[in-house]
Amino acid sequence: MVSPTTSCFALARVWQLGETSEVPFPSDLDIAQAATIAPLSDIAGQLGIGDEFLEPYGRHVAKIDLSVLENVSSRPSGKYVVVTAITPTPLGEGKTTTSVGLAQAMKHIGKVGLLALRQPSMGPTFGIKGGAAGGGYSQVIPMEILNLHLTGDFHAVTAAHNLLAAMVDNHLHQGNALGLSLDKITWKRVLDVNDRALRNVTIGQGSKEDGIERTSGFDITAASEVMALLALATSVEDLRARLGRIVVGYTADDVAVTAEQIGCAGAMAVILLDAIKPNLMQTLENTPALIHTGPFGNIATGNSSVIADKIGIHMCDYLITEAGFGADMGAERFFNIKCRVSGMKPDAAVLVATVRALKAHSGLYKVVAGKPLPPEMLQENPEDVRAGAANLAKQIENVLAHGVSPVVAINAFPTDFASEHDVIREIAESMGARVAVCTHFSDGGAGAVDLANAVVAACDEPNNFHFLYEESASLKDKISAVATKIYGAAAVEYSDLANEQLARYDANGFSNLPVCIAKTHLSISGDPTLKGAPTGHTLVVREVRASVGAGFIYPIVGNMRTMPGLGADPAALHIDIGPDGRIIGLF
């Protein structure tokens, strides 16, 4: 267990501001590699899981056999807590770090906390964002394993997805008995690497034996519908059924053609038999963590798996899971898609806020990923925080709209000032939210004890959780509900293509599905330039796609990239193997 003996928060301040020549705050990788890793049997023992349910992958990770669900389902359910956030800057505001810190803090107050997180994609790991194990003294370890391959689940999703793509093209080559229209095939290929050159490609070039020539493209694996449905599957049987419902394209008469009809769903399920099992890991303080699936946060649910949550809720006092991006995105999908599938009801929602993000929402500063913050943004200025606080208020409102108790976690940075935290507290408490200032990055679980106590109190309140819309509502009514109630839009407009696609989905019987609006994460609206909490805007839906196997329809707002590109200074340039054989440069 790693527990800093001096105030790492103070050291971090010294390091970031360059005030003295004291030893700098260690890197995430240095902290992780110095950790004492407990035997997995000890970690499983905290949850009451016997060794017979563990399938070890090396020394520090294990798959959990799904038969454990029968063993634990008779146990009482713990409290269910989702961690979400205000609208983040391009730098992120520390949801994962806060989730880890909160889970660790539960042990400090005598509770059994269990963490449930998505697995990071290797695309961002080698790109600008870096890994997603948390940070500082609130990390999942070993962070190298978490960020690089883990147990191969992403590769299994890639293989299953691309097998279906190959089977579709083979079906065309063998005569196209199902009558797939070449310009209505929607199934692309995927790869877990940021590679912009593959976004749009022509396949089948060459001789007749090389296949049917047509345009297609690649998405990143996290954007695969297979990843989304793996995250929402409730059992192996449900996984198999969802794979069969995947729509790969349409006939000239707009009749959907499925993976079941192509004859590929069974083989895909076989490839995913291990991937459907959650992965057991631990935090720096040896708190158990379930790491499973990694659906894209912009176009899919951005949440970890239903199966991990259904297993985990019976093994702890508090199950802490994270929803991607702001409460208008990951949390809205958690409430209206994930909870609808799982039947589980959240007891509280932690809303992560930072001074820097609220200052950015004032519209006075420009924050760019990979570049230092503007120096004037680091000066004490509570009024700038107040100027951007409309975003905080709206995201609290978005949580309350689902009947869930909000807790605002102020993720404290060493460049913050108490007066700036006071503004956040004043606004949050005026809306009925509990508030805690957290230093978990530098102080581990001890730095999130106040947050843990606030979460316990929130979970003890009466629960009034409800969905935003009924399943029976039309697709346009569902889209309108999210746009007006969550995004603050005054109206929704549809392109001719979007109207055509919605009519197609209605004709094919897909109208009962929930909606997952694909939009920018940098604004509550569909326009990334609109900061704070914009109102009166029009949400313009340019396209609507169907993830029928996953079980949702996703309208697309703006130009959403499903295959990222690498920047001028990607992390891949700095990652290597050091002289001692250990990985270096990972962050």
Q: What is the mean pLDDT of residues 349-369?
A: 92
Q: In 10 A of CB 192, how many CB atoms?
A: 22
Instruction: Choose the weakest-confidence range: 292-301, 401-410, 479-488.
Output: 292-301
Q: What pLDDT shows up at residue 348?
A: 98
Does pLDDT of 520 surpass 80? yes
Instruction: Choose the weakest-confidence range: 239-248, 372-381, 533-542.
Output: 372-381
Q: What is the mean pLDDT of residues 319-326?
A: 96
The percent of residues in the chain predicted with pLDDT above 90, rounded, is 84
CB-based burial, 378-407: b 16+ in 10 Å, e otherwise: beebbebbbbbbbbbbbbbbbbbbbebbbb
**In this structure, are residues 12 and 256 in contact, taking their beta carbons and an 8 Å threshold?**
no
CATH superfamily for domain 8-152+275-459: P-loop containing nucleotide triphosphate hydrolases (3.40.50.300)
The percent of residues in the chain predicted with pLDDT above 70, rounded, is 96
Give Cβ neighbours of residue 525 (< 8 Å, ≥ 6 apart). Answer: 487, 488, 489, 534, 537, 539
**In this structure, are residues 513 and 228 in contact, taking their beta carbons and an 8 Å threshold?**
no
Q: What pLDDT shows up at residue 23?
A: 57
**In this structure, are residues 502 and 494 in contact, taking their beta carbons and an 8 Å threshold?**
yes
Please state the separation of Cα 583 from the chain's center in Å.
25
Does pLDDT of 326 surpass 50? yes
CA atoms within 13 A on the CB side of 328: 31
Domain boundaries, the chain: 8-152+275-459, 153-271, 475-557
Q: What pLDDT shows up at residue 14?
A: 33
| Nearest partner of 138 among 94, 108, 107, 91, judged by Cα | 94
Does pLDDT of 229 surpass 60? yes
Q: What pLDDT shows up at residue 373?
A: 86
Q: What pLDDT shows up at residue 559?
A: 85
Q: Quick one: CA dihedral 41, 47, 49, 53, positive or negative?
A: negative
CA dist 23 and 2 (Å) reads 18
Alpha carbon distances (Å) from 548 to 115, 248, 263:
29, 10, 17
Alpha-helix residue ranges (DSSP H) falling in 470-577: 475-485, 496-507
**In this structure, are residues 587 and 571 in contact, taking their beta carbons and an 8 Å threshold?**
yes
Does pLDDT of 16 surpass 60? no
Mean of all residue pLDDT scores within the chain: 93
Q: What is the mean pLDDT of residues 240-247?
A: 98
Confidence of residue 124 (pLDDT cuts 50, 70, 90): confident
**In this structure, are residues 32 and 467 in contact, taking their beta carbons and an 8 Å threshold?**
no
Classify domain 475-557 by CATH architecture. Roll (3.10)
Does pLDDT of 117 surpass 50? yes
How many residues appear in the chain? Answer: 587
Q: Which residue shows structure tokens 């006075």?
A: 364
Coil, helix or strand for 131? coil
| Nearest partner of 322 among 145, 154, 97, 111, judged by Cα | 97
CA dist 98 and 101 (Å) reads 5
374-425 per-position pLDDT tens digit: 999 999 999 999 999 999 999 999 999 999 999 999 999 999 999 999 999 9
CA dist 106 and 289 (Å) reads 13
Does pLDDT of 489 surpass 70? yes
**In this structure, are residues 97 and 104 in contact, taking their beta carbons and an 8 Å threshold?**
no
Does pLDDT of 8 surpass 70? no
Starting at the edge strand that comes first in sequence, how are the strands of the sheet with 491-494 ordered?
Answer: 491-494, 538-547, 552-557
Q: What is the mean pLDDT of residues 367-380?
A: 86
In the chain the first and final C-alpha atoms are separated, in Å, by: 20
DSSP 8-state assignment for residue 214: E
72-82 per-position pLDDT tens digit: 989 999 999 99
Confidence of residue 553 (pLDDT cuts 50, 70, 90): very high
pTM of the model: 0.93
Q: What is the mean pLDDT of residues 427-449?
A: 97
Instruction: Choose the weakest-confidence range: 14-23, 135-144, 546-555.
Output: 14-23
Q: Which CATH code of 3.60.40.10, 3.40.50.12240, 3.30.1510.10, 2.40.50.100 fits the domain covering 153-271?
A: 3.30.1510.10
CA dist 220 and 385 (Å) reads 36
Does pLDDT of 19 surpass 50? no
| Nearest partner of 109 among 459, 462, 454, 405, judged by Cα | 454
497-518 per-position pLDDT tens digit: 999 999 999 999 999 999 999 9
Give Cβ neighbours of residue 216 (< 8 Å, ≥ 6 apart). Answer: 185, 188, 189, 201, 202, 203
CA dist 528 and 363 (Å) reads 12
**In this structure, are residues 11 and 442 in contact, taking their beta carbons and an 8 Å threshold?**
yes
Alpha carbon distances (Å) from 176 to 168, 181, 244, 439, 522:
9, 9, 19, 60, 43
Q: What pLDDT shows up at residue 3?
A: 37
More confident residue, 382 or 363: 382
Identity of the amino acid at 466? H
